[in-house]
Structure 1
């Protein structure tokens, strides 16, 4: 039996050697797989970190741009509000001028709007009641060379200023209408003065 024991011992040794080789090969392969996995995970982490950082920077820039644009819109709206308030105050001051100054202003404005032909000037009801005695004479002198302007006895449906008509063509020269017609230029001028 000693021969059989030797064979069994030899088989057992070979089996242990084979097991050790298989385990060593498996451990070696597992180490390679783990190293490759660690390397891929590290690269994936670094790529994700880089992408996340780039996205965070982009989001931050977009947020800053959005806040900046919103702030500029609010500042612009505030400036427009201030300018519009100044325009309303100007209209109010023009309306409340003393009669002499008010009608002198109207004559200067009429002079800028005189055309060739016979014109008709219409004032609001309040202005018709306070027309100075010499206003019609000054109006006649102002437009005599162009055909003349007659003061209508019928009130116009305006708050201030005048309506100047030549036949079928009428021009609304109330303070608000004139300002509305020139509003963008007035806003630009006011903005330059108020917000240098």
Structure 2
């Protein structure tokens, strides 16, 4: 082999070694890039899963709270409706009592409001037409015990039930509706206790 051939072979061998070295370095660099990419991708994936899980948990909790609040609101609305219905039925039953029981109740209510002075009790047209014969004497007796005097007005008031008790310019509306409205929360509380314990 001539010297030229040896030089060419040496150059070719060095070139091959240089190529192998460059290819190996490129493969190592590519492997490092792939590894770094996989690491970054895994880290990004893990962070995304963590954020997504936290958001999903928060959304679930918010949804549960929203449903719970809506259920409580509906339950309260239903209870209020039942209480109001019970109150209406009670008022209706009170109004429809037989005359004796009805006016016994009126006397008991009147007794709470009697003042030691002259007063007038007024009824709606329906009640005015069904006052028992002994009502006025019983009413006078009650008023007398408290140092007062009450007469029954022959003029009908614009009320469905109960009565209006007047002492001069001061009148107290004791119709069932008015008494319930003036003490509505207490009436509702009592009805709620009876209905729901």
User: What TM-score do you get using the length of structure 2 for normalisation?
Assistant: 0.90
**C-alpha offsets along residues 150-175 of structure 1, whole Å, 9 cap, x if unaligned?**
22221111100011122222211111
CA–CA distance in structure 2, aligned partners of residues 7 and 163 of structure 1: 133
Q: How far off its partner does 1:81 sit?
A: 1.6
Give 3-state SS (helix, strand or coil) of 1:146's partner: coil
RMSD of aligned C-alpha atoms? 1.9
Which 5+ residue runs of structure 1 have no aligned equivalent?
A: none
Q: How far off its partner does 1:11 sit?
A: 2.9
Give 3-state SS (helix, strand or coil) of 2:155's partner: coil
Give 3-state SS (helix, strand or coil) of 2:121's partner: strand
Q: How far off its partner does 1:2 sit?
A: 4.0
Give 3-state SS (helix, strand or coil) of 2:55's partner: helix
Give 3-state SS (helix, strand or coil) of 2:86's partner: helix
Which 5+ residue runs of structure 2 have no aligned equivalent?
A: none
CA–CA distance in structure 1, aligned partners of residues 11 and 116 of structure 2: 131
CA contact (8 A) 2:114 2:148 kept: no
* Higher mean C-alpha displacement, 6-15 vs 168-177: 6-15
Partner of 2:58: 58
Q: How far off its partner does 1:6 sit?
A: 3.5
Give 3-state SS (helix, strand or coil) of 1:160's partner: coil
**C-alpha offsets along residues 69-105 of structure 1, whole Å, 9 cap, x if unaligned?**
2222222222222221111111111111111111111
Partner of 1:168: 169
1:178 matched to 2:188? no
CA–CA distance in structure 2, aligned partners of residues 27 and 116 of structure 1: 113
1:41 matched to 2:36? no
Give 3-state SS (helix, strand or coil) of 1:165's partner: strand
Partner of 1:193: 194
Q: How far off its partner does 1:13 sit?
A: 2.8
